[in-house]
């Protein structure tokens, strides 16, 4: 990967997974450089680069790399399945291997290349109210919120609604309202899903700290888990999102996620942008 010093600017890559777009910064060998202010500056789609999440690679003592995630509002993201797959693809191409281990705040994740597809194990779903987390004791499969949503943790909180037509939902108004619901002390990602057929769902998402996105990997995992727990699907589910199709396979060893990965371009952030973020 390309790296550069502060005086030359900061090298980055732009990638996406089913339209879920990311800025990827490689800080291995030099230490983390991203701050909340810099994440906001880069995330500005008019004055910066723009992204749904930023992924920063760092060195790791017990994995191939450590991966940190940022939202475009400068807040931290605890998990990001599509960004993890994008970075896994880069590192596997760099190393010539078909597996990679990635340390995140979610834990130690394993990614694999299988027949050209990138899969990542996002770990076991969190269904206890303390782990999601929620503000108080609650049945996570039936929250006391209009629409009877479920709460699932995938290293970040998700609130999943099952509706007749996900495409008809006013996501721009309902998303932020639910994101800031007092039941979620750390805010929440919000998904609306409808059943298209056996093990086939349509999903739209509002991501906390970002807004409407074309896809969400951890959200797809949360929706698939909630759908199975409610008896709507099996444990292998295809999800049609606004940017493509994601596949989830909930196995005994965790929730595996797969979908498209695309490299878009690489560039260098100017020192002026970085100085403006100080």
**Predicted confidence band of residue 4 (pLDDT cuts 50, 70, 90):** very low
The structure's pTM equals 0.94
Question: What pLDDT is recorded for position 7?
Answer: 54
pLDDT(266) > 90: yes
Helix (H) or strand (E) holding 224: helix 217-229
pLDDT(87) > 50: yes
Q: In the chain, what is the greatest distance between 2 CA atoms, to the nearest angstrom?
A: 56
pLDDT(183) > 70: yes
| Residue range 21-62, pLDDT digits in tens | 999 999 999 999 999 999 999 999 999 999 999 999 999 999
Q: State the catalytic residues.
A: 80, 216
pLDDT(155) > 80: yes
pLDDT(277) > 90: no
Query: Cα–Cα–Cα angle for 268, 272, 278, nearest 5°?
Result: 110
Give Cβ neighbours of residue 51 (< 8 Å, ≥ 6 apart): 14, 21, 22, 23, 42, 43, 72
- What does the pLDDT average to over 127-152? 98
For residue 192, which of 182, 209, 178, 181 has the smallest C-alpha distance? 178
> What domains appear along the chain, each with residue ranges and CATH number?
6-122+261-276 (3.10.310.10), 150-252 (3.10.310.10)
């Amino acid at each position: 990967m390309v790296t550069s010093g502060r005086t030359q600017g900061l090298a980055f890559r732009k990638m996406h997974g089913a339209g879920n777009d990311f800025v990827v910064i490689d800080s291995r060998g030099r230490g983390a450089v991203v701050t909340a202010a810099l994440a906001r500056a880069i995330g500005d789609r008019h004055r910066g680069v723009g992204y749904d999440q930023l992924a920063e690679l760092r060195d790791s003592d017990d994995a191939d790399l450590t991966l940190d995630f940022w939202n475009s509002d400068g807040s931290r993201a605890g998990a990001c399945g599509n960004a993890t797959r994008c970075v896994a693809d880069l590192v596997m191409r760099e190393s010539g291997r078909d597996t990679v281990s990635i340390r995140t705040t979610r834990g130690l994740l394993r990614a694999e290349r299988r027949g050209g597809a990138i899969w990542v194990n996002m770990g076991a779903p969190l269904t206890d109210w303390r782990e999601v987390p929620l503000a108080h004791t609650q049945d996570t499969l039936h929250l006391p919120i209009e629409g009877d949503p479920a709460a699932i943790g995938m290293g970040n909180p998700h609130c999943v609604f099952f509706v007749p037509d996900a495409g008809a939902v006013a996501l721009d108004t309902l998303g932020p309202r639910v994101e800031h619901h007092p039941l979620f002390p750390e805010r929440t990602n919000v998904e609306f899903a409808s059943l298209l057929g056996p093990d086939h769902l349509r999903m739209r998402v509002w991501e906390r700290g970002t807004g409407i996105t074309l896809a969400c990997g951890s959200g797809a995992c949360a929706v698939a888990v909630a759908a199975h727990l409610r008896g709507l699907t099996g444990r292998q589910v295809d999800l049609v999102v606004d940017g493509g199709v994601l596949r989830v396979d909930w196995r005994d060893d965790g929730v595996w996620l797969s979908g498209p990965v695309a490299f878009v371009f690489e560039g260098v952030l100017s020192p002026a942008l970085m100085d403006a973020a100080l």
